[in-house]
Amino acid sequence: MEEKYSNRRFDIHSADDIDEEVLETIDYQYPASETEVEIIYPEFTSVCPWTGLPDFGVLTVKYVPSGKLVELKALKYYLNSFRNV
């Protein structure tokens, strides 16, 4: 049964395909505050390197900004570039 699926894979890319250029930041107006930013990304998908099948997960990013905030749309594009890596 295993042989039947051996050639059915999604493409696996190298870490060079992670799109760091898409990341953008915006100025944080309250750099002296200790405000914690939490971004919950419920749509994270990746390709399993062993089976080639898609996996799904929820990613939570928490950080305390000092001078910049990560722009949300840019973060989503960045995370999507991990899908096949």
Q: Which residues are catalytic?
A: 48, 55
Tokens 């990304």 correspond to: 41
- CB-based contacts of 61, cutoff 8 Å, min separation 6: 37, 38, 39, 41, 70, 75
Nearest to 75 by CA among 33, 26, 36, 31: 26
